[in-house]
Amino acid sequence: MQSKISHLQFNVQAANLPFYTDLLAFVGLQTLHEGEGILGVGDENETSMWFSAPAKDVANDYDGPGMNHLALEVPAQSDVDAAAAYLAERGVPALFGTPRHNPEFSSAERTYYQVMFESPDHILFEIVYMGPKAD
């Protein structure tokens, strides 16, 4: 059997949908559907993410059971810096001392350069570049 990721669904507060709309457009994902209380975005591989109102009013804890974070890979180290600036302009703090090169996931040939942040719904995101280190 062969499979691929089809889609992911995130339950978020409807008032926070503009955050996701703007962020995911910034990183180059296309809007597939935007309606009352729902947003769908996707990439050229037909992988999609859907953001809609939660069924229960329970806080997300990324250090508890379930998904820890969502990583979005970008093609250049400078894209991570651009994302960090984008977030800072919107008052979204970078977490865990990022942006930075993460030596645990780097090698002599490749770097793992990341910025991590939390959405208004406490979903942990990472924007990461993996490739040759830029000067």
For residue 53, the model assigns a pLDDT of: 86
Residues of the chain with pLDDT under 70: 135
Are the CB atoms for 63 and 123 separated by under 8 Å?
no
DSSP-derived letter for residue 134 is P
Give the pTM.
Answer: 0.89
For residue 135, the model assigns a pLDDT of: 65
For residue 133, the model assigns a pLDDT of: 87
Q: Which residues pair with 52 in a beta bridge?
A: 11, 38
Q: Which of 57, 60, 3, 9 is nearest to 33 (CA)?
A: 9
Alpha helix positions (H), the chain: 17-26, 77-89
Domains of the chain: 1-55 (3.10.180.10), 59-135 (3.10.180.10)
For residue 134, the model assigns a pLDDT of: 80
In sequence order, the 6+-apart residues with CB closer than 8 A to the CB of 104 are 112
